Amino acid sequence: MLIKHPLDIFPSEITPPEVYRGRRAFMRATGSLALAGSLGLQAGNAAAGVKLAGTRPGPYGTREEMTPYKDVTTYNNFYEFGTDKADPARNAGSLKPRPWSVQVDGLVKRPGHYDIDALLKLASLEDRIYRMRCVEGWSMVIPWVGYPLNELIRRVEPLGGAKYLEFTTLNDRSQMPGVRTSVLDWPYTEGLRLDEARHPLTLLAVGLYGETLANQNGAPVRIVVPWKYGFKSAKSIVRIRFVDKQPVSAWMQAAPREYGFYSNVNPEVDHPRWSQAKERRIGEFFKRKTLPFNGYGEQVARLYAGMDLRRYF
Question: Residues 117-156, buried b or exposed e (16+ Cβ, 10 A)?
Answer: eebbeebebbbbbbbbbbbbbbbbbbbbbbbbbbebbeeb
Side chain identity, residue 108: V
* Residues 148, 202: Cα–Cα separation, whole Å: 6
Can you give the pLDDT of all 313 residues of the chain as single tens digits? Answer: 232 332 223 333 333 433 433 443 433 444 433 333 333 334 344 345 789 988 999 998 888 999 999 999 999 999 999 999 999 999 999 999 999 999 999 999 999 999 999 999 888 899 999 988 764 568 999 999 999 999 999 999 999 999 999 999 999 999 999 999 999 999 999 999 999 999 999 999 999 999 999 999 999 999 999 999 999 999 999 999 999 999 999 999 999 999 999 999 999 988 888 888 999 999 899 999 999 999 999 999 999 999 999 899 9
| Cβ atoms of 241 and 165 closer than 8 Å | yes
Domain edges within the chain: 11-304
Closest CA to 169 of 107, 91, 222, 117: 222
Strands 164-169 and 203-208: unpaired
* Residues 13, 271: Cα–Cα separation, whole Å: 10
Side chain identity, residue 218: G
SS3 180: helix
Predicted TM-score (pTM) of this structure: 0.85
CATH second-level architecture of 11-304? Answer: Alpha-Beta Complex (3.90)
Closest CA to 202 of 172, 182, 226: 226
| Cβ atoms of 79 and 19 closer than 8 Å | yes
